[in-house]
Amino acid sequence: MKIIRPIHRDDYSSLHEIAQESGVGFTSLPVNEILLRSKIDKSVQAFAKDVTEPSDESYLFVMEDQETQDVVGTSGIVAGVGLDDAFYHYHLSKVVHASRELNIYNTVDILTLCNDYTGVSEICTLFLRQNAREGLNGRLLSKFRFLFMMEHRQRFAEIIIAEMRGINDENGQSPFWQWLEEHFFSMDFPTADYLTGIGQKQFIAELMPKYPIYVSLLSKQAQAVIGQVHEKTKPALQLLEQEGFSCRGYVDIFDAGPTVEANLKHIRSAQASRKMQIKVTDEIKESQSDFFVINTKVEDFRGVCTSLDFEAEHAIIGQQAADALGVSNGDNIRFAPTHFRT
């Protein structure tokens, strides 16, 4: 069984391996010991903190294989982005150039640098190692966060975003960034991505064009990748779209990958989730569909995928799953179906 739990300080070596595997473009996990240990420390503090409203807390979870005790994935939530460091996007919009006298009317796409998402919550740092990419592991690693946020709503904003990885090749080259590099930055994409990942963002404000960029002036290659996702990110985007996330024209300033958003109460898994007391049994009937299940704790949070049965006002859960969640008879759980009927 795979369980989701908060990251611990002794998970550093596993996190470092995941950071190396994730590659260029995965900004939230730079291959830097000081930064990775800082991320772990900040997460440990966030889980221990008594929160009444969201601030700059950063929660980092891991997926652990109970049989081998290996960490096979990561998943994160930032409670409020841009509160302690500027959070940049490009917004894709339109302007009209028209002359009634000449009977000319042209609609032009422009990219405008902005900080519109400051203060919203972000789901991030989702990475599942190759040997664990099977069954419902990917869905669990992504969707449990919606149950956690629904259970602890005071810790998060109403608007939830996710930045999707844009197009870049095996060498870490981004067609969008290549145009910016040529005209403004004189710095390759891996370097810019790394600097952002370690928190050195001042160069963005210093070197980024101060006025809106006309998309038609970009190279054809750069234009073609605006709002497009990396091949490996397509399943994650599809999963979020099924949950109700959509893009409102915001894209990453480096690779032009889309940022998608949803209101927490409208996210499908959060909306469909239920909270019930449990009864624990040694044997449970295998149901036709499994559920994503979490306990209602913070510092001792656990999440699993398991079968549930129902009896009056109680959810019936197997002993193995109860042990994994750290719950017993009479405790509460929150759960949601792994799949929805279309």
Who contacts 125 (Cβ-Cβ below 8 Å, separation ≥6)? 28, 29, 60, 74, 75, 76
> In the Cβ-directed half-sphere of 179, how many Cα atoms lie within 13 Å?
21
Residue 261, strand partner residues: 161, 246
Cβ(164)–Cβ(23) under 8 Å?
A: no
With tokens 């900080």, the residue in question is 115
Q: Which amino acid is at 203?
A: F
Strands (E), 66-187: 71-78, 89-99, 104-114, 121-128, 159-163
DSSP string, 49-101: S--SS--S-EEEEEEEETTT--EEEEEEEESSTTSSS---EEEEEEEEEEETT
Who contacts 101 (Cβ-Cβ below 8 Å, separation ≥6)? none
3-state SS, 35-47, equals: HHHHHHHHHHHHH
Q: Which amino acid is at 159?
A: I
Catalytic choice (91, 152, 183, 230): 230
230 as an active site residue: the answer is yes
Pairing of strands 159-163, 213-214: unpaired
Residue 94, strand partner residues: 109
Who contacts 322 (Cβ-Cβ below 8 Å, separation ≥6)? 278, 280, 328
Catalytic residues, by residue number, are 230
